[in-house]
Amino acid sequence: MTDLDDRTSSGDLLPDGRRNLRFVVIGAGVSGILAVIRLRARGFEDVVVYEKADRLGGTWRENRYPGVACDVPSVLYSFSFAPNPDWSHRFSPGAEIQAYLEKVAADHDVERSVVYGEEVVHAEHDGHRWHLRTDSGRTDVADVVIAATGVLHHPFVPGLDGLDDFAGDLVHTARWDEDVPLAGRRVGIVGTGSSAVQTVGAIVDDVAELHLFQRTAQWVLPQVNPAYTDDEKAAFRADPEAQMQLHYEVSELFADGFANAVVDADSPQLVKIAEMCRENLDTVADPDLRARLTPDHRAACKRLIVAEDFYGAIQRPNAHLVTTDIDRIEAGGIRTVNGRFHELDVLVLATGFRVDRFLRPMEVVGPTGVRLSEAWAERPTAYLSLSVPGLPNLFMVNGPNGPVGNFSLIEVAELQVEYSLQLVDQIAAGECRLVEPSVEATESHEEARVAAASKTVWATGCNSWYLDDRGVPMAWPWPFREFQRRMAAPDLDAYVLSG
């Protein structure tokens, strides 16, 4: 395929008289797949997706570590227009979600719009259109850019002294190497978040020794994860509407029981969640181990861990919880600050992601010279997590300060894409050529968000990846109903429409 700088689709018309816009979607994960499907449903066919990897799937393509699974119920972690009657369990394993995304993409012929192995590194608006360049030097133009770059795709690698000296197999949970053998070997895992907890449960019975290096104890909510029976799957296939009704009911329960609870630090639901976590912790028989696994913060202040049998796994005879700080990594293992040396054959970094990247390191420049790198010099912000003043016709999905920690991200993406496409409708209808949020609306939203964030459980005194450089929670701080209300239709008074 050749460079497309001379494309002029913005001057063409669709059969219904609307402008035939050209779209570039960045990323072929959950949100990128969704964007293509929804754009075509609106009659827009001039769409290209640039994906830096060699296959679609986003975070579910990247995360292939043992035990990887979603902590949102399967029926809710599905596109509303593509219910899946064949989920194996209430909470699905990662490989099953990846297969589901691939099937949805195949059913809707998404891949004819995807260009793999091309990472967008530069996007600049000339006052008329976006001009984009990839790492290979390929160029393209677009009337509208949809950034479906996601949140969890830049692995965080801790600055541990001597990490490069380790002579065994070193893997990150977000860059898992299936060729690394685990059976019968001594494995060390650094971290105690969801990926670490899931990995512990999946491998403890296969390895010779498992050493879990814990910096901070986490609250773990017990998970009951029954398999769907053949009869239940058959019922879903026979009556898709029944599964969609279940989707709606689970969404309501999830919102009322968890999503709305965490944004109100005084909610009675949080008291119940804390009780469940404490009862789960009490299943640890050894009082010393239980004490070391006891967090010093409120349940859900950090991202709540949901696991089926973590405490059972960490009590296995070959499992060792290490709470002494790491001094350095050596060729044969990890030495802690008390001088003890832990011999390892495999070192697993279960240390999560850099969650403040979003579009970065891409350089994005607006028509008046506004640079995203400068606008986000202190921290990422966006109006409704979707768009930034000075960068017209650029819409993010799951951008800064969105509901990354308390709602189903597929449900969030559907609401955000539909909202953004309502603004695109203004462009296609000829009401304007450029649309961006006003500075006033963005600043007002950010002021209200910061104030509301102080009332959430994330602001009750723990350190977590939810907090920005000021200690302010970065996630959406209002109930899910408020998110749905705000996403139902854009307030055009909050936007600058021009051209």
Query: Which residues, at least 6 apart from 438, have a Cβ–Cβ distance to it below 8 Å?
Result: 389, 494, 495, 496
239 lies in some domain: no
Handedness of CA 44, 30, 374, 451 (dihedral sign): positive
Q: Interior CA angle at 324 toward 323 and 326, to 5°? A: 115
293 lies in some domain: yes
> pLDDT below 70 — which residues of the chain?
1-11, 152-153, 354-358, 360
Identify the pLDDT of residue 336: 98
Single-letter amino acid code for the residue at 242: A
Cβ contact 130:393 at 8 Å: yes
Give yes or no: residues 113 and 173 share one domain.
no
Give yes or no: residues 176 and 195 share one domain.
yes
Cβ contact 424:418 at 8 Å: no
H-state helical runs in 306-438: 310-314, 372-375, 409-428
Identify the pLDDT of residue 257: 81
Condensed to tens digits (0 to 9), the pLDDT of residues 335-384 reads 999 999 999 999 999 998 765 666 768 899 999 999 998 988 888 899 99
Identify the pLDDT of residue 11: 62
Give yes or no: residues 394 and 494 share one domain.
yes
DSSP summary character for residue 228: P
Cβ contact 244:275 at 8 Å: no
Give yes or no: residues 93 and 133 share one domain.
yes
Identify the pLDDT of residue 153: 65
Pull the structure tokens for residue 63: 């995360």
Domain boundary among 334, 349, 364: 349
Domain boundary among 333, 349, 365: 349
Which region, left, alpha or beta, applies to residue 461 given φ > 0 means left and ψ of -120 to 50 means alpha? left
Cβ contact 329:163 at 8 Å: yes
Q: Which helix (H) or strand (E) holds 142?
A: strand 139-142
**Taking Cα atoms as reference points, which of 400, 394, 386, 348 lies closest to residue 487?**
386
Percent with pLDDT over 90 in the chain: 79
Identify the pLDDT of residue 6: 45
Identify the pLDDT of residue 469: 86
Give yes or no: residues 75 and 177 share one domain.
no
Query: Which residues, at least 6 apart from 131, have a Cβ–Cβ distance to it below 8 Å?
Result: 5, 123, 124, 125, 139, 140, 141
480 lies in some domain: yes
Give yes or no: residues 195 and 332 share one domain.
yes
Domain boundary among 297, 321, 349: 349
Condensed to tens digits (0 to 9), the pLDDT of residues 380-409 reads 899 999 999 999 999 999 999 988 777 888
Identify the pLDDT of residue 356: 65
What CATH number did the domain enclosing 468 receive? 3.50.50.60
Residue 337 to residue 349: CA distance in whole angstroms? 19
Give yes or no: residues 390 and 291 share one domain.
no
Query: Which residues, at least 6 apart from 138, have a Cβ–Cβ distance to it below 8 Å?
Result: 3, 118
Give yes or no: residues 150 and 97 share one domain.
yes
Q: What is the DSSP string of 161-204?
A: TTGGG--SEEEEGGG--TTS--TTSEEEEE--SHHHHHHHHHHT
Give yes or no: residues 93 and 182 share one domain.
no
Residue 363 to residue 124: CA distance in whole angstroms? 8
Residue 110 to residue 221: CA distance in whole angstroms? 37
Query: Which residues, at least 6 apart from 108, have a Cβ–Cβ distance to it below 8 Å?
Result: 33, 36, 37, 40
Cβ contact 115:289 at 8 Å: no
Identify the pLDDT of residue 9: 55
Give yes or no: residues 185 and 214 share one domain.
yes
Q: Tell me the CB-side half-sphere exposure of residue 168, using CA atoms within 13 A.
A: 22
Residue 176 to residue 64: CA distance in whole angstroms? 6
Pull the structure tokens for residue 72: 């949102």
In degrees and rounded to multiples of 5, residue 427 shows phi and psi of: -70, -50
How many domains does the structure of the chain reveal?
A: 2
Q: Which helix (H) or strand (E) holds 37?
A: helix 30-41
Cβ contact 172:157 at 8 Å: yes
Place of tokens 């009675």: 268
243 lies in some domain: no
**Taking Cα atoms as reference points, which of 386, 394, 390 lies closest to residue 483?**
386
244 lies in some domain: no
439 lies in some domain: yes
Provide the residue range defining the domain that includes 147.
9-154+354-498
Give yes or no: residues 289 and 431 share one domain.
no
Condensed to tens digits (0 to 9), the pLDDT of residues 156-201 reads 888 999 999 999 999 999 899 999 999 999 999 999 999 999 999 9
Pull the structure tokens for residue 294: 């006891």
Give yes or no: residues 402 and 493 share one domain.
yes
253 lies in some domain: no
4 lies in some domain: no
pTM of the model: 0.94
